[in-house]
Amino acid sequence: MRKIYLFFVMLIATTSAVTAQSLEKVFEGNKDFEQVSSIKVNGDFCKVEFVKGDKVNVTAELSANKQLDGYAVSMDLAAGVLTVNVNKPESGWSSHSGFVTVTMPDGMNLEVVTSSGYINLADFKNTNLKAESKSGKIVVINLQGSADLSTKSATITVDNITGEVATSTKDGNQTVTNVKGNAKVVAYNGSLIIENIEGACSAETTDGALTLKNIKGQMRMKTNSGSMKLSDSEGTITTTSGAGSLNFFNVQGVFDINSGKGDVIGARVKFTESSSIKTTEGKIKFKLENSKEELSFACVSEKGMMVVYGKAKKKKVNEGKGSIVITTYSTTGAQNYY
């Protein structure tokens, strides 16, 4: 049995090597351009990369398993807009690859679309990027400007951005870190990791997990069944969850929490203004950094037991005389504040 397994492994490796070796160059181009203010690239199956330089230059190369008419990269400049299109035959091909490298100075407006090719941009100032890919990943690093990025099934990685960031995927994971500006991150199944945001942050997913850390500003988190974690953050926190759990650690601010079946758990939580927490079946458990004198509680639960600083009651709890009022509600979920 082991010999058969090894045979198939060697066969797959050999087939892959032959396929890779069978690709031959079917197009190459290199051209300089002047007086360019914006660039549009339709990269199709190609990797599209933007490189810092003193002038605008486009270098492209395509490879395929067959020499067929139709493989080409057109480059047209009109009214300051440089349009680059990757073209392929309508039929006859089975595999191909390629790249488009755009060398350019700062200050460009960019629009990029690819199918399977991935998009990469790094180290630009005063540059605005709108990028869309079906299955190719998108990587944007060290950008001063704006980034509007979307994929269907690939990953998105964003790091060290000064400006507005908006990202979205259907199934791909996303990592958005070190943003000085507002960030809006949306996914369907993919997980989201968001860290070090100085600005308003909105994170939304249907089934994927949300992990947020070191957010300073307004926060909005929404999920259907995915879990949510928020740590080392401060600001105005609004959350909506169906069945997913919500965990806070070392968080302070104003809270507006709505949860269905998911538990709401917090440690080292500090309320800076009056806040609201609501669940149905999910339990609520908060270890607070506030002093007792700062807070007052107005808690209601239809069936769950409520404990406020060690005092247990059912139905309703009115405890404390502080100016920060914590209003809570649950149906069957227990509540505990200490």
The pTM of the whole model exceeds 0.85: yes
Span 303-333, pLDDT tens digits:
999 999 999 999 999 999 999 999 999 999 9
d(CA 59, CA 54): 15
For residue 15, what pLDDT is reported? 40
Q: What residue spans of the chain are helical by DSSP H?
A: 2-22
For residue 124, what pLDDT is reported? 98
In this predicted structure, the answer to whether residue 120 has a pLDDT above a threshold of 50 is yes
pLDDT band per the 50, 70, 90 thresholds, residue 17: very low
- Amino acid type, 106: D
In this predicted structure, the answer to whether residue 20 has a pLDDT above a threshold of 60 is no
**Do 256 and 240 meet the contact criterion of CB atoms below 8 Å apart?**
no
d(CA 338, CA 324): 15
The tokens for 114 are 């690819």
For residue 94, what pLDDT is reported? 86
Listed by start position, the domains of the chain span: 23-261, 262-338
**Do 226 and 210 meet the contact criterion of CB atoms below 8 Å apart?**
yes
Span 123-175, pLDDT tens digits:
999 999 999 999 999 999 999 999 999 999 999 999 999 999 999 999 889 99
In this predicted structure, the answer to whether residue 13 has a pLDDT above a threshold of 60 is no
For residue 11, what pLDDT is reported? 45
Q: Of 111, 161, 138, nearest to 47 (Cα)?
A: 138
pLDDT exceeding 90 applies to what percent of the chain? 86
d(CA 64, CA 35): 33
Looking at per-residue pLDDT, the higher value among 22 and 56 belongs to 56
For residue 323, what pLDDT is reported? 97
Q: Of 244, 259, 234, nearest to 328 (Cα)?
A: 259
In this predicted structure, the answer to whether residue 21 has a pLDDT above a threshold of 80 is no
Q: Which fold has domain 23-261?
A: Pectate Lyase C-like (2.160.20)
